[in-house]
Structure 1
């Protein structure tokens, strides 16, 4: 008999639950929700007792699917599989759910919660008893004790609910891992496409882009995507010690299926997504500047921040990215040739009317006793310098470790300066210990 139902967009979680529950589980791919909850309900066979919804289902999808399942299968228990806790009260208030389970919960925790909820459904009279009910309890009071109820703040409840239908069990699991759910963008939230550009290579453009992504992800976790649009020689994946299965060519050619596109993204431990450059230079011909521009526009409908690391200079792909930019971060270093090169780039962009509305000028590798001071640099550029980043060995050490500089050594002078770039984009991105928490990395 099918006892449990899983509706999810995570193939990894589905595989794990299949291995745990075997014949007791039926699965329906979450992609069917694109056509409405009825498409999912129509594919449910038998009469499952408990439905697990998630990961990677939105609030709206979960709400409509819960209502449809309750209508078709009265009394069914509902467990939402998700990790994000900040808006948990909204989910509990807005949807009739019985438990919230982390996708990283152990098999033992998952099975124990399923057994307890199943037993409560029987004890409360919502569903009939079954012959294979291994954890059946005699009365509701015993069950409420077994559920080990907690309140939404994570503290033990001082009283058991008197209304059986209002019981909400929140499964606390360790360790608490970041949720991979992509947060929806509200109608009033302005999405930003931040293009990082430099007139030539070796200016620190890639380091700037990586740290922008890491810093903005602290205030917008899982709503930041970093695109390596240096289509021939991009090295963001190497700088972050990632081995992505898919590259910009694969993702840009994924069509307009948002679900399929999301499956091709590479997730970084610091809560942002990466789209790597093509693995070999000859593949760069497979994505045109026009296609790149259209792709960036599509990403802007999915993410709060789209950060683009461009090819040095003003080639086809760099210009296409700048056409989509809300912010331009222009990077140079503290030498006369580099400063003059950036000035020429500005002059051309002004002539092409492609200077982004928000402009940020970053000068890297600043040192004393080089024959230049800030006033000289600004005179050469013909523009104000917004952030000066001192030369630092920490930049090299962070890159060799595959870690963003602002998280590798928060006290490093270059890290503090780059943090200033992040704050120019989002003044709320003030570093705190809680925001900078990262997973332990193997040394």
Structure 2
């Protein structure tokens, strides 16, 4: 008999919950959400009492599912399973859910919360008491509060249910952060100050290592700037061997950087070789295979960037990780440099070495923006430690978020895929540093909505 429902994209969490609940659990793969929330609800068998939504569901998907399930099964208990906590107030606003649970919560926490919600639904009269117990509560160990992002979101559920689980603060701002000391062996070094009042044109996104979020940053910069400068933004994938911007945007361009770099300076001929994205910006894809990278010389790349700067308001360049010759060429022609790193000591030190070399070569762009990506608490480092290692101030912190993966899998820029996600809001901050007029508005975002 279906008593509990799970809609999820996580095979690991599905396996855990199936082991806990066994035959009374029905799982509907979240892939059905692509066809709308009603397609998911139509797959449900019987009368579920509690639905768990997530992990790896976006805000819009979760909201649509909660509304459809509540309409089809009045009184159903709703638990959202997700790991982010910084934006919970946005999720709770207007969404009829009872609790938010971490996918990493202990089995005892899962059992305890589901048991309490199931009992409360019967006691409060929302659902009939069928006399069946989920699990003997005497077997449930007391759960740690840190396992639950928000144990009790629904105020009535909070007042009326037995407070066996400790409530977690929504803002989580009062939690003391563990102090950590900068590496005492780190020599003192300060990155020179940036220039002022330099107009942005060629924006190079660079990172000392792969996997820092460089390509995601470049894509969302293009999408955000195109909101205020439609069709006057071009995104160049200068990762000449393994660039994947076309894949991340679900584009199938007919031409690549190899063709464009050899096309000469005629504006009409150049624009005919560019791919156009639905979000009103143009894309020059990387060569389709690594061996074609040899056809893109540093001289042709530099000449192309200079020519594009006369045709477009913003030229955004995604680069090869590290400081290869094509990356150095791009930085030589850049007005802005967006440098991306994550919050690990090896990556921070690598960025510092990159800056030291660029200063020695006099290739630090006039405008500089440092993005600290994949930020999460309790990893042993604080922002001030990262700034000490780099020798420069961090401009934007981007929290770790599964929404980045979901947006990439759908081929949509994050800032248009899940506008409420904290990572999307942080990346908006990078866009605003380039163009302060690029303030997101409902009209700008909603005109990008997909069918």
TM-score (norm 2): 0.56
The DSSP-based 3-state class of the residue aligned with 1:218 is helix
Tell whether 2:249 aligns with 1:240. Answer: yes
1:338/1:190 Cα in 2 relative to 1: closer, same or farther (>3 Å)?
A: closer
The DSSP-based 3-state class of the residue aligned with 1:361 is strand
Tell whether 2:270 aligns with 1:261. Answer: yes
After TM superposition, where is structure 1 displaced by more than 4 Å over at least 4 residues in a row? none
1:193/1:390 Cα in 2 relative to 1: closer, same or farther (>3 Å)?
A: same
For the residues of structure 2 that align with 1:238 and 1:278, how far apart are their CA atoms? 12
> Cα offset for 1:439?
4.7
Instruction: Show the 5 A alignment for 1:361-400.
Output: 361-400=370-409
For the residues of structure 2 that align with 1:379 and 1:356, how far apart are their CA atoms? 21
Q: Which runs of 5+ in 1 are unaligned?
A: 1-188
For the residues of structure 1 that align with 2:201 and 2:270, how far apart are their CA atoms? 19
The DSSP-based 3-state class of the residue aligned with 1:355 is coil
> Cα offset for 1:440?
4.8
For the residues of structure 2 that align with 1:315 and 1:235, how far apart are their CA atoms? 18
1:211/1:299 Cα in 2 relative to 1: closer, same or farther (>3 Å)?
A: same
1:380/1:204 Cα in 2 relative to 1: closer, same or farther (>3 Å)?
A: same
Q: Which runs of 5+ in 2 are unaligned?
A: 1-197
Instruction: Show the 5 A alignment for 1:24-63.
Output: none
For the residues of structure 2 that align with 1:323 and 1:225, how far apart are their CA atoms? 18
Instruction: Show the 5 A alignment for 1:323-334.
Output: 323-334=332-343
For the residues of structure 1 that align with 2:427 and 2:407, how far apart are their CA atoms? 13
- 2:201 is aligned to 192
- 2:436 is aligned to 427
Contact 1:269 1:438 in 2 (8 A): no
For the residues of structure 1 that align with 2:247 and 2:286, how far apart are their CA atoms? 10
> Cα offset for 1:256?
1.6
Contact 2:200 2:434 in 1 (8 A): no
1:191/1:336 Cα in 2 relative to 1: closer, same or farther (>3 Å)?
A: closer
Tell whether 2:212 aligns with 1:209. Answer: no
For the residues of structure 2 that align with 1:375 and 1:439, how far apart are their CA atoms? 37
Summarize deviations over 1:64-83 as a string: whole Å, max 9, x none.
xxxxxxxxxxxxxxxxxxxx
- 1:341 is aligned to 350
For the residues of structure 1 that align with 2:202 and 2:378, how far apart are their CA atoms? 37
> Cα offset for 1:437?
2.8
> Cα offset for 1:383?
0.7
1:359/1:409 Cα in 2 relative to 1: closer, same or farther (>3 Å)?
A: same
Contact 1:366 1:389 in 2 (8 A): yes
Contact 1:343 1:380 in 2 (8 A): yes
Summarize deviations over 1:90-118 as a string: whole Å, max 9, x none.
xxxxxxxxxxxxxxxxxxxxxxxxxxxxx
Instruction: Show the 5 A alignment for 1:157-236.
Output: 190=199, 192-236=201-245
Summarize deviations over 1:103-139 as a string: whole Å, max 9, x none.
xxxxxxxxxxxxxxxxxxxxxxxxxxxxxxxxxxxxx
The DSSP-based 3-state class of the residue aligned with 1:307 is strand
Query: Once superposed, what is the RMSD of the aligned Cα atoms?
Result: 1.2
Summarize deviations over 1:155-180 as a string: whole Å, max 9, x none.
xxxxxxxxxxxxxxxxxxxxxxxxxx
The number of equivalent residue pairs is 254
For the residues of structure 2 that align with 1:315 and 1:212, how far apart are their CA atoms? 23
Instruction: Show the 5 A alignment for 1:296-315.
Output: 296-315=305-324
The DSSP-based 3-state class of the residue aligned with 1:362 is strand
Contact 2:204 2:334 in 1 (8 A): yes
Contact 2:343 2:375 in 1 (8 A): yes
For the residues of structure 2 that align with 1:332 and 1:190, how far apart are their CA atoms? 25
**Structure with more contact order per residue of length (Cα contacts < 8 Å, sep ≥ 6):** 2
Contact 1:191 1:301 in 2 (8 A): no
Tell whether 2:360 aligns with 1:360. Answer: no
Contact 2:260 2:270 in 1 (8 A): yes
Summarize deviations over 1:390-417 as a string: whole Å, max 9, x none.
0000000000010000000110000000
For the residues of structure 2 that align with 1:278 and 1:423, how far apart are their CA atoms? 31
